[in-house]
Amino acid sequence: MHSHHLKLNLSKSDLLFFPHSSSPSADLPISIPLESTTLSPSSSAKNLGVTLDPALSFFQHITTLTRTCRFFLSNIRRIRPFLMDNLTQLLVQSLVLSRLDYCNSLLASLPASTTCLAFRDISPQAPVHFLVIPRTPIPRISEAKDDEAQLLGHLLIVAKNVANKEGLQEGYRVVINDGTHGAQSVYHLHIHVLGGRQLTWPPG
C-alpha cells in the first residue's frame, strides 16, 4: 500500500469473513497483516448505509431499519392532525423510498419475514398494541392490487406469530383503517393488533 501512496485508516476499516458451506470452520482465526498492523475479522461492517454480517442475514441492518422507521412514523403521526392527506402520503412515501426501498435488492433472497416490519404502537390503546407494515409502499388497503394477495396474507401470518409471542392466547383484535371515514392517520398500509384486555363491540 505504501508503494501506491495509500494508507489504511483502521478506524474506518473492517474485515469480514464469509465462510463457504464447505469451509472447515467459520471460527478459524483469520487476520491480514498490513505493514505494522494486523486487521482482524469484525462481527459486522457498514458500507453505503447497509450493515453486513458474516452470515449475510442482515439481522442488524433490519433491526436498525425497523427502529428508524418506527421513529419516523411516530413523528408523522404526531403532526398528522395538522397535515392534509396528500402531504401525509408524500411524507410516508418519502420514508419508504429513502429507508425501505434503499438497497432492498440485498434482502431479496431473505426469508419472507423480512418483507414487513412489526413494532409497538407509540400510542397504545390496549396493554398490547403493535403494528405490522409491509415494506412495499401501499397507501391504503383499498388501493392494494390483486397480485399483492400473497403479501397481504403474509402480513396476517406475521401478526398472528407476533401475537403468540406477546402471549395473547385469549384473543386479540386485528384492525385496518382505510381513508378518512376509516380514521386512517398514516397513509402507508398498516395492521393494528390489540389485545391484553377485554375489547368491546362496536369499536366506535
Establish whether 190 is a catalytic residue: yes
Taken in order 190, 99, 162, 200, the sign of the CA dihedral is negative
- What is the model's pLDDT at position 44? 79
pLDDT at 173: 96
Catalytic residue (choose from 61, 129, 188, 190) = 190
Q: Count Cβ atoms below 10 Å from residue 44 Cβ, excluding itself.
A: 14
What pLDDT band is residue 152 in, cutting at 50, 70 and 90? Answer: very high
SS3 10: helix
Confidence band of 182 (pLDDT split at 50, 70, 90): very high
The pLDDT, as a whole number, for residue 16 is: 74
Tell me, what's the pLDDT at 71? 84
H or E element that contains 117: strand 116-120
Picking from 125, 110, 117, 139, the residue whose alpha carbon sits closest to that of residue 173 is 125
Residue 3 has pLDDT above 60, yes or no: yes
Cell numbers that stand for 96 in this block: 419508504
Q: What is the pLDDT of residue 163?
A: 93
More confident position, 85 or 18? 85
Tell me the pTM. 0.53
Enumerate helices (H) and strands (E) in the chain, giving the number of each: 3, 8
| pLDDT value, residue 78 | 86
pLDDT at 2 exceeding the cut of 70? no
Place of cell 434482502: 107
Distance CA 116, CA 134 (A): 4
Which range has the top average pLDDT, 36-50, 56-70, 82-96, 163-177?
Answer: 163-177
Instruction: Check pLDDT > 90 for residue 1.
Output: no
Sign (positive or negative) of CA dihedral 108, 46, 99, 185: positive
d(CA 167, CA 199): 16
Question: Phi/psi at 178 (nearest 5 deg)?
Answer: -135, 120
Query: What pLDDT, in 10s, does the model give residues 101-134?
Result: 666 555 555 555 567 888 888 788 999 999 998 8
Q: What is the DSSP string of 170-192?
A: T-EEEE---TTTTT--SSS--EE
